[in-house]
Amino acid sequence: MSERTEESPAEIARELCRGVLSGNPEAWERLVEQYGRLVLAIPRELGLGEDDCEEVFQTTWLALYRDLHRIERPGALPKWIATTARRHAWRALERRKRDGAVVPSGEEELRGGAVEGLLAAESRQLIHDSIEEMPGRCRDLLLLLFFDRRPLSYAAIAGELGVAEGSVGPGRVRCLAELARILERRGLGVD
Amino acid sequence: MRCLTHEELLRHRMGLAPDTAEHAGHAEHIGGCAPCTGRIELLDRLLAGLSEGPLPDVPEHLVQAAKAIPRSAAPAAPGPLARVRELIAKKLVDTASFGLAPALRGSEEGGPVDRHLLYAADSFEVDLAVVEGGSLVGQVLADDGEGPHLSGAVCVLVGENAARETDVRNNGDFRFEDVRPGRYALFVESTELRLVVPELDLTSPT
């Protein structure tokens, strides 16, 4: 298991912005991989159809590519991406309404529920980014516990990590507490 | 009585038994303590986020299309977007910041002005006022006769909860009704110009 030093999402965003602006194609591809799920989750949470979701996804990335050099604080890139996707998604929804298309549910009901969903999508991105950047064994433990698509028992997780099964439960609480401290510093819960 | 640690609060929220006698003795502290309440909200959000798992994957064709943008949007072949002039506006005046009396625009805007903000970008100014009742009224002004840039323009107000769009009238006026306190971004867009107010903070008391 690799040892990592903690690098915040803001630092990673700064580094990726610098890479893209200097013409590094790998930096752009990593940006798409890092934040693609967030961009697509936002129109989906609004209940837009797949065609609209795809359009929002593409226009958001086009806008990012076009405007990246104008972003004064690259550390705020994840927030900027979410805001841009939200803006394009709301406009797609308004367009559908103007066209007379049936929107997924009553407008107020949709907006009330969707707002929670949009914020949840940003929170989930921040949580995942923070786990990915945690140093040491906590990162591996939390990824296995919460993000592995296989249903893993404590015994299986202990096997993968090479630790005693009895240490997985206490480790879960300890690592979640460490993650909570990181998220507190990074502003989860502060809208 | 001390605040509980993240570990102790986590055990509480996850329904696990207190791990120390001291922790058990301080459990009653949770209900009436603002820092503990804030931490509990964060932990609940964390646990809810984790229970959802990762955000869904993006179809591969979308990923590849987004990755290809630098190649397809190369400056050598400028598309329609390249002709749009984009300006980022900066704040010049905010009556809420300086305790100034707001400008007297009441008679024109249909009510007393609670707050007045002025943004500028290049030769353009965006004049905004929060009027009594919560409406946001504004006007885009060009000091060098660049009116045609605004022909057919729309104004988009983007908040955390929603985005709203309205037409910009020929004289540059626009208006949004019932704007709630919050943080927004404002975009004035025509086929030739995109004027951006990136941070419009309407949370301050008026």
Q: Which tens digits make up the pLDDT trace of B14-29?
A: 888 776 665 655 666 6
Most confident of A73-77, B74-78, B145-149, B151-155: B151-155
Examine the domain organization and report whether A147 and A56 are in the same domain.
Answer: no
Q: Any idea what DSSP says for residue A105? A: S
Mean pLDDT, rounded, for A163-177: 92
Q: Residue A151 domain-assigned?
A: yes
Answer whether residue A25 shows pLDDT above 70.
yes
**Whole-number pLDDT of residue A177:** 93
- DSSP letters along A104-170, please? SS-HHHHHHHHHHHHHHHHHHHHHHHHHHT--THHHHHHHHHHT-SS---HHHHHHHHTS-GGGHHH
Q: Residue A120 domain-assigned?
A: no
Alpha helix stretches (DSSP H) within chain B: 6-13, 21-25, 34-52, 60-67, 69-72, 95-98, 106-109
Mean pLDDT, rounded, for A56-63: 90
DSSP-based three-state secondary structure for B120:
strand
Burial grade of A119 (CB within 10 A; 0-12, 13-18, 19 or more): middle
Answer whether residue A102 shows pLDDT above 60.
no
Backbone angles phi, psi at B46, to 5 degrees: -65, -50
Mean pLDDT, rounded, for B128-147: 78
Chain B 118-157, residues with CB within 8 Å of chain A CB atoms: 156
Query: To probe the interface with A, which of B45, B155, B176 has the most A CB atoms within 10 Å?
Result: B45
Backbone angles phi, psi at B90, to 5 degrees: -115, 150
Question: Which residue segments constitute the domains of chain B, with CATH numbers given?
Answer: 1-73 (no CATH), 84-201 (2.60.40)
How confident is residue B107, by pLDDT bands cut at 50, 70 and 90?
very low
Mean pLDDT, rounded, for B142-154: 68
**Cβ separation A40–B56 shorter than 8 A:** yes
Q: Residue A124 domain-assigned?
A: no
Of residues A28, A36, A179, nearest to B58 (C-beta): A36
Could you give the percent of chain A with pLDDT greater than 70? 81
* The pair of three-digit structure tokens given for residue B129, joined into one six-digit string: 């006022």
Question: Does B178 reach chain A within 8 Å, measured CB to CB?
Answer: no
Domain assignment of residue A142, given as a range: 134-191
Location of structure tokens 């999402």: A9
CA distances from A111 to A45, A100, B11, B202 (A): 10, 18, 34, 21
How confident is residue A130, by pLDDT bands cut at 50, 70 and 90?
confident
CATH number for A143: 1.10.10
**Cβ separation A90–B62 shorter than 8 A:** no
Location of structure tokens 């940006």: A31
**Whole-number pLDDT of residue B40:** 85
Count of structural domains within chain A: 2
Examine the domain organization and report whether A90 and A139 are in the same domain.
Answer: no
Q: Residue A126 domain-assigned?
A: no
Closest chain B CA to residue A91: B163
Answer with the one of A87, A115, A143 that is the final residue of a domain.
A115
How confident is residue B96, by pLDDT bands cut at 50, 70 and 90?
low
B37 Cβ contact partners less than 8 Å away, ≥ 6 residues apart:
B30
Examine the domain organization and report whether A83 and A172 are in the same domain.
Answer: no
